[in-house]
Copies of this chain bind each other. A is one copy, B any other.
Amino acid sequence: MTTTENVETRNGVDVSQLTHTVDAIGTDPDLANFRFRAHNVWLGGGRSRTEMHGFWGAGAEDTSRAEPFVLHGDEPPVLLGSNQAPNAVEAVLHALASCLAVGVTYNAAAQGIDVRSLEFDLEGRLDLHGFLGLSPDIRPGYQHIEVTYRIDSDAPDDVLDELCAHVQRTSPVLDMLRHPVEVSVTRT
C-alpha cells in the first residue's frame, strides 16, 4: 500500500495511522504477524454460536474489545434448520464482501481516492450432492462465486480498475477462496 498525500482521514480511514503502520512493519516485520481466534458452541440442530474476542497482532495481545463479538449460524428449513441465522456458506459471502469493502476503501484512501459509496452483490452456486456425500465427484463447496460491485467515485475508470485489480491480489478472504489454505482439524 503506497500513500500519496498527507491527508488525515479519507473514506473514514486514518491515513496517517495507515502510513505509520506500514512504516512500523518495515522496521519490525514481526509486527505483521496476527493470530485471530474463534470459539464455537453447537446449540442443537443446525444452530451454533461463535464468539470472537481477543487476538494477537502488532506484537501484542489485543485488549481493545471489552466484550466478545457473537455470530450465529443456522440453516433454513429446507436444509433441516430453524432459520434463526444465515448459514455457513452465506457467512462466507459476508466474509468475502466485507473483506473486499475494506480492501477497496483502505487502498483507495492510501492512493488519495475518495469513495462516496460502495456496494457488492454476491452469488454462490452449490450442488448439495457434495455435502450429502451422494457423489464424490461433486465438490461440497461453491462451484462458482460471482461478485459484482458498484463504486461511486470521481476517479477515472482505469484508476478504479487498477484499484480493483490490486484489491484482488491482496484481499485475505479472496486469497483464501482462490488458493488452498492449510487447515488442521483435531479432536481433543
Contacts and interface: CB of A to CB of B under 8 A. Distances in A.
A50 B100 contact: no
Interface residues of A, number: 130
Nearest to A85: B69
Interface of A: 1-2, 11-14, 17-18, 21-22, 25-26, 29, 31-42, 44-48, 50, 52, 55, 57-58, 62, 64-65, 69, 71, 73, 75-81, 83, 85-107, 115, 117-134, 136, 139-151, 160-161, 164, 166, 168-188
25 contacts: A1-B134, A14-B80, A22-B132, A25-B129, A25-B132, A32-B127, A35-B123, A35-B125, A37-B124, A38-B94, A41-B118, A42-B104, A42-B105, A42-B118, A48-B98, A50-B93, A55-B90, A71-B71, A71-B98, A89-B172, A92-B95, A126-B172, A140-B170, A140-B172, A178-B180
A173 to B, nearest CB: 5
Contacts of A134: 1, 22, 25-26, 32
A183 B187 contact: no
A105 B81 CA distance: 12
Given A25-B134, A94-B52, A141 B181 contact: yes
Interface of A is mostly: mixed
A13 B144 CA distance: 29
B93 A64 contact: no
Nearest to A39: B121
